[in-house]
Structure 1
Amino acid sequence: MSSLAVTATSHSSAPAALVYAALLDAESWPAWTSYYEVQWELPAGVERPARVDDLRTIRSRLGRVCCRERIVELVPDQRFSYEQAAGLFASHRGSVDLARAPHGGTNITWSATYQHALPLLGTLRRRRLQVLVHDLASYANSIVSRKS
């Protein structure tokens, strides 16, 4: 089984709090990712912010479950970390780190590690992660534009 570590970066003119909020807002993900649906798995009638150990299910445009992820670390406006609970990879852990950029806005670094048996996935994972981080930055920028 091979291991793969991938890092992608982007910049948003939005403050870190807005970018962080987009990561936690499962309903916004279809607006800025290729995923059809991202849902937090909470008991019926429970509405609260995401917490460590919460699960979310991610579905593709074809409606099938891509994966289930568990939140492993939440540092408001700085870090969002998760690990795969079920899905394509034997192990997958990711973190989105947010840092104030020297000239304003937020620098976004999305890192992920994968354990899998398919060696050709490296290039695809690198491209996919770069698209995700770019789309997150663009989405946050669009919110800033709408508010101004």
Structure 2
Amino acid sequence: MGTQEIDVQVHSAAQPAAVYALLRDGSTWPTWSPIERFALERPSSPEPESVGAIRNFFTGKYKMREEVVELVPDKRFSYALLEGLPLTGYRAVVDLTPAADGGTDIRWHTTFKCKIPGMGFMYRRGLHKLTRTVAHGLADHAAKS
């Protein structure tokens, strides 16, 4: 049960604050990603989607239940998967770095272990494709906003 790793890097013409705002607001995810629906299960404080918030994302028959675990304004957004896939220790860290052109370099780094022996590479491959799609959607949508 080795740790699987996904690392996706994309560039957005948008400034880090615009990219960060989209990550923080789960209700925007269906607009720029394959996510079909969002529901805030447990708000936190001082803002509803601060650290400790539990967010649910729905796509087809899947429901991903995630907790916001780290926020660094305009620099980092991190979440942990609580339920939805047979994975443990799933944590995604999205780092935003100002780029020389005034845009943002986005690095979406994810680690996890698979509960099903021998299937880690399959989940890594599928989640890498999804993460790449989501990251590009985020970068493009932020640039248009």
TM-score normalized by the length of structure 1: 0.86
Aligned residues with identical type, % of pairs: 34
Which residue pairs with 1:12 in the alignment?
12
Structure 1 unaligned spans of 5+: 144-148
Q: Report the Cα offset of residue 49 of structure 1.
A: 4.2
Q: Are residues 1:66 and 2:68 paired?
A: no
Alignment equivalent of 1:99, drawn from 97, 100, 125: 97
Q: Report the Cα offset of residue 73 of structure 1.
A: 0.3
Give distance in 1, aligned partners of 2:124 and 2:83. Answer: 20
- Provide Cα deviations, 1:47-94, integer angstroms capped at 9, x if missing partner: 93421111101111x2x4421111110000000001111120223100
Alignment equivalent of 2:140, drawn from 128, 138, 141: 138
Larger CA deviation: 12-21 vs 82-91: 82-91
Q: Are residues 1:30 and 2:30 paired?
A: yes
TM-score normalized by the length of structure 2: 0.88
- Provide Cα deviations, 1:105-130, integer angstroms capped at 9, x if missing partner: 11100000121122322222221111
Is the CA contact 1:57–1:65 (under 8 Å) kept in the aligned structure 2? no
Indicate the RMSD between aligned Cα atoms, in angstroms: 1.8
Is the CA contact 1:42–1:54 (under 8 Å) kept in the aligned structure 2? yes
Q: Are residues 1:129 and 2:131 paired?
A: yes
Give distance in 1, aligned partners of 2:42 and 2:84. Answer: 19
Structure 2 unaligned spans of 5+: none
Which residue pairs with 1:108 in the alignment?
106
Give distance in 1, aligned partners of 2:130 and 2:42. Answer: 28
User: What secondary structure is seen at the aligned counterpart in 2 of 1:52?
Assistant: coil
Larger CA deviation: 85-94 vs 17-26: 85-94
Q: Are residues 1:81 and 2:78 paired?
A: yes
Give distance in 1, aligned partners of 2:82 and 2:125. Answer: 23
Q: Report the Cα offset of residue 3 of structure 1.
A: 2.1
